[in-house]
A and B are shown apart, each in its own frame.
Chain A
Amino acid sequence: MKTETTNYHFNSGITLESGESLSAFDLVVETYGELNADKSNAILVCHAFSGSHNAAGESDTDGKLGWWDEIVGPNKAIDTNKFFVVSPNNLGSCFGSTGPTSICPKTNEIYGKDFPDISVLDWVNSQEMLLNKLGISSWACVLGGSLGGMQALQWAITYPDKIKRAGVIAAAAKASSQNIALNEVSRESIRKDINFYEGDYLKKGAFPKSGLKAARMLAHITYLSEDNMNKRFGRRMQDADSKVDESVDYQVENYLQYKGQKFSETFDANTYILMTKAMDGFDPAKDFNNKLEEALKNVKAKLLIIGFKTDWLFPPERGKEIQLAAMQSEISSSYLELDGKQGHDSFLFKSKRYEDNIKAFLSS
């Protein structure tokens, strides 16, 4: 699979939904496959909140497989033999694109807490600038899961002429009260870490690692299904010689401790707050009298909405709502409810049906 990693610099800057602006910014982008002669085979994949530009194949930095490696690749659901897949790291993230850990050109200091609020629309606007930079007139498809699915939906609404298909997977048209509540507990644990310094930790040479770890541990639970957790860990005890922490009794505790620890070593705390805030704020209907069907009126893309039965973070009903609103607005739209064993995370894992359905949608 032909893979390229490129850092795109946008010196024209961007005005954000909040009214603030960035005078210039970078997007680090991984691409897979090759753009065809008439530039009609480009697919944008959008990552969820902790993802990066490394969607497929091994990462250059840590050798880890990309977050959507089961779905994107040669002969996979998103077939890189046919499609030119573009996977940017989002603005505000911490894997190379401009974000809170970058240097602010005005002050020559790390942005930290002063990095402006970012919204899903801002990501889509920056991705549209990327589309122009690549010299492509429209995406054959934009797709993603979770917060990535929200970007796909925003794309269909904001740039109807620049997107042919949108795959909105394990997502919602807006965060629920429960979603916001869970995010707030995560944020609170970061903010109350003694090393957070109100977001200025990097300037102080500190890092709110324990807060970020706890935040991730909580969030991780929401990505799994109860059944899946029971099957994987049950009430089994952790062997004494492989405990990551003395306090651990059960395997599930050990697993969460391990995952939280790993995450806190690679992710940025301000980015965590910024990304979850973007998710909480997503609500494309807000500019349309709170009517999603009105927000969807001008959509020209075909929509494929997929929910997973075991997902309780963005349950299938949230996806159904999007399809129903699309139907009311006479937009071509399909809704699928897949089994998926892994709860919200099901969107990351391949299954025969999932693969067949995405292939069929992309071929139509």
Chain B
Amino acid sequence: MNNPITNIITKWIEDNSRVIDFGCGDGSLLTELRDNKHILGYGIEIDPDGINECLKNNISVVEKDIDDGIDEFVNCNFDVAVMASSIQCLKEPNIALKKILNLSNKCIVTIPNLGYWRCRLALLLGRMPVTPSLPSSWYGTENIHLCTIKDFEDLCKEEDFIIEENMHLNKKRQVSSLAKLMPNLLSCEGVYLLARK
């Protein structure tokens, strides 16, 4: 478990949970959770290479564009939904979050923070920011709905999502007490455990 985000998510998920991972990539998080937490997991993915890796790793995967709808999973009774590094790529992230919390008791979201000081500095210097959590150049990015930690926490308030846990990561994607002090300025990325009110 070298990936600190995987580490955090694994801590937050209880044994034997039913987990749906939106944008599961090659299924590595679900594999980790299956092997260590004995979860029942399903991944949603659109990238053919990721899907094939999931099949190899014996991870259930559904080929689907998340933007095409989340409602269909509403009767599947998931305990936790995971949306790691994909919320900012969605057409309507606020509606997606609402729908996810409709089909799952809890939702773990990661947010690349555009308020991070390096992003602010880059913009101040007249450049689009490129950081560990926002690694792509402006023309190559899939991110269409970026926000700051403050923006995201405001959304949670507006939509009545309860923030049960949060962690703030530094540039090295490690949990940082410094970042926790002033997350909007000092954290590169936020990880949130949300619940419905």
Contacts and interface: CB of A to CB of B under 8 A. Distances in A.
**Are A and B bound to each other?**
yes
A336 B76 contact: no
Interface in A268-309: 302, 304
Given A333-B60, A335-B62, A357 B51 contact: yes
Interface stretch (A25-33, A169-177, A242-250, A321-329): A321-329
A357 B52 contact: yes
B52 A334 contact: no
A211 B77 CA distance: 51
B63 interface: yes
B18 A364 contact: no
A337 interface: yes
A332 B60 contact: yes
B12 interface: no
Given A330-B18, A357-B51, A364 B60 contact: no
A353 B61 CA distance: 15
Interface residues of B, number: 22
Contact of A357 (B42, B55, B77): B55
B75 A328 contact: yes
A13 B39 CA distance: 45
A167 to B, nearest CB: 11
B54 interface: yes
Nearest to A303: B60
A155 to B, nearest CB: 19
B36 interface: no
Nearest to A326: B60
Nearest to B44: A335
A363 interface: yes
A330 B19 CA distance: 11
16 contacts: A323-B62, A324-B72, A324-B76, A327-B62, A328-B77, A330-B18, A333-B60, A334-B51, A334-B54, A335-B64, A336-B63, A353-B48, A357-B52, A360-B52, A360-B53, A364-B55
Interface of B: 18, 40, 42, 48, 51-58, 60-64, 72-73, 75-77
Given A332-B60, A334-B60, A334-B62, 20 more contacts: A302-B60, A304-B55, A320-B72, A327-B42, A327-B60, A327-B62, A334-B51, A334-B54, A334-B61, A335-B61, A335-B62, A337-B63, A353-B52, A360-B53, A360-B55, A360-B56, A361-B55, A364-B56, A364-B57, A364-B58
